Structures are given as C-alpha cells and as structure tokens.
Homo-oligomer: A and B are copies of this chain.
C-alpha cells in the first residue's frame, strides 16, 4: 500500500513537472506497478467541427495513460520513448469527465507494449489504444 502511494505520488510529481501535462489538466486517480488510471475533464473547448470531442485530446489522454503505465514498470534508470500508437474511436465523446486506464502488456529487453481504454461518465468505452515503446538506459538515451 505504501508502495502504491509512492507510485501515485511519483506520477503526480512527474506530471506537475511537465509543461504539456500541466496545461492539459490531467489527474492521477490510481496507479500500481503496470497500471495507471487518469481523469480528465473534456469541455466545450475540446469540440471539433462536428460537435464531438476531438480525437486529439482523447489520443493524448490514452497515450499518457499508456506511457505512465510503462513508467511504473521499468527501472528508475530506464527511459521510454513512444515508437508508435494506434487509437480506435469506438463512440463519439461529449463534454464531461473522462477516465483513462493504461496497462502494460509486456516489457521486453528493448521494447514495451501497452494498452489503454478511455471511458466516459457512464462507463461507456470511447477509445481503445495500443502503444509500443522503446526502452533504453538513461545513459544511452542521453548519449
């Protein structure tokens, strides 16, 4: 339990230190090793030309949930960089609170696989995504 609290605290600090994430307005709801749940408020400002929540912020939400889930599953001295992401839009979104859960599928020696789901307030799945990440040692990445 102490460990989980530490993971949540660590992710909150990371998000607070990231200019992009601070502006985007994410909240860490829950986290454990290999899994992270985020919350995000979709507003009228996120509507696209068709009056639906734009796929961009929904992709960002799914991407962040997957990336942070990978973060919880690799060593402190390792670093992950997104190689690719696939996003499926199952249902259109409307303004309201969204919840995204990212989950690590597998961490290999150099590549990690993750997935995420975004649900709306009524627990309907709006988005499903998969992501692939390069995992390197920090020293390599800096080099």
Known: A44-B19, A56-B63, A130-B130. A86 touches B84 (CB 8 A): yes
Q: Do B20 and A54 touch (CB < 8 A)?
A: yes
Q: Is the interface of A mostly helix, strand, loop or mixed?
A: mixed
Cα distance A57–B141 when bound, in Å? Answer: 22
A73 an interface residue at 8 Å Cβ cutoff? no
Q: Do A84 and B87 touch (CB < 8 A)?
A: yes
Say how many copies of this protein the assembly contains. 4
Q: Do A60 and B63 touch (CB < 8 A)?
A: no
Q: Do A55 and B90 touch (CB < 8 A)?
A: no
A121 to chain B, nearest CB (A): 18
Q: Mark A48-62, 1 if CB is under 8 A from B, else 0.
A: 111010111101100
CB closest residue in chain B, given A141 = B50
Provide a sorted-by-A list of 27 A–B residue pairs whose CB atoms are within 8 angstroms. A18-B47, A18-B48, A18-B49, A19-B45, A19-B46, A20-B48, A20-B56, A50-B81, A55-B82, A56-B56, A56-B59, A57-B60, A59-B59, A59-B87, A83-B88, A83-B111, A84-B88, A85-B87, A85-B89, A86-B86, A87-B87, A90-B106, A91-B106, A105-B125, A105-B128, A111-B134, A128-B130
